[in-house]
């Protein structure tokens, strides 16, 4: 039986399998990188744009926090990852609605992660109840909750808009207007906008109107 060292030494590049990686650049250009042995081939990816998962490129530092209510804050992952910003705004709870974004201070704040894809076909309303429950928990504990996604543009604003509609009885237009006033960059994707526009919430548990 070969040792790990012997296996590594005897391994040949000819045994490497062909690998294919799809890459989307920040400009939106899609390419396919194909590796075979030590050779790489790069070609344009013909996949149609509608097959892509929605996302907002997050290329600049953005620790700004929008204050929707004294207990309800809205921002990006940068704000959630900056301890000084969290302490400045007296954040006690963090609602992470991004996909694959780490909670970096698990011993210092109360977290809830609700993974939502920023895609028009994703059902954001499916998650409103549990998000509302967590926000209300923070409020009842006299805390402040930061709701964030990746860029703080689509998912988090959509969730906060849904919360205002479900727990405060606001209309879609009034709720979205309040969210945009707190964070001007807020712009839920078209699918989320359509879902929220037609949302007719019932009185949710723990909500006070």
User: Is position 131 annotated as part of the catalytic site?
Assistant: no
Could you tell me how many residues make up the chain? 209
Q: Measure Cα distances from 144 to 6, 8, 93, 115, 120 in Å.
A: 57, 53, 6, 21, 29
Residue recorded with tokens 């744009």: 49
In angstroms, the CA 163 to CA 207 distance is 9
Q: Give Rg (Cα) of the chain.
A: 22
> Which parts of the chain fold into alpha helices (H)?
4-10, 77-80, 83-88, 128-140, 155-168, 172-182, 190-197
- Residue 7: CB atoms within 10 Å: 10
Could you give the dihedral angle defined by the CA atoms of residues 170, 185, 92 and 204, in that order, rounded to the nearest 10 degrees?
20
Catalytic-role residue among 131, 149, 167, 207:
149
Rounded Cα–Cα distance for residues 47 and 26 (Å): 17
Task: State how far Cα 207 lies from the chain centre.
Answer: 24
Distance CA 64, CA 71 (A): 16
List, by residue number, the catalytic residues. Answer: 149
């Amino acid at each position: 039986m070969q040792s790990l060292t012997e296996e590594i030494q005897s391994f040949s590049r000819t045994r490497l399998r062909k690998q294919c990686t799809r890459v989307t650049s920040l400009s939106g250009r899609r390419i396919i990188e194909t590796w075979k042995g030590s050779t790489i081939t790069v070609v344009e990816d013909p996949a149609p744009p509608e097959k892509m998962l929605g996302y907002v490129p997050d290329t600049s530092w953005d620790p700004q926090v929008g204050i929707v209510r004294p207990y309800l804050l809205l921002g990006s992952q940068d704000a959630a990852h900056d301890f000084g910003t969290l302490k400045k705004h007296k954040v006690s709870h963090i609602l992470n609605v991004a996909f694959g974004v780490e909670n970096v201070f698990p011993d210092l704040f109360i977290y809830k992660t609700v993974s939502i894809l920023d895609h028009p076909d994703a059902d954001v309303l499916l998650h409103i109840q549990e998000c509302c429950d967590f926000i209300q928990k923070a409020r009842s504990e006299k805390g402040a909750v930061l709701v964030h996604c990746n860029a703080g543009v689509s998912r988090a604003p959509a969730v906060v808009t849904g919360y205002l509609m479900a727990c405060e009885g606001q209309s879609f237009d009034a709720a979205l207007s309040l969210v945009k006033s707190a964070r001007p960059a807020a712009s839920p994707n078209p699918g989320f906008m359509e879902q929220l526009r037609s949302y007719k919430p019932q009185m949710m548990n723990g909500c006070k109107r």
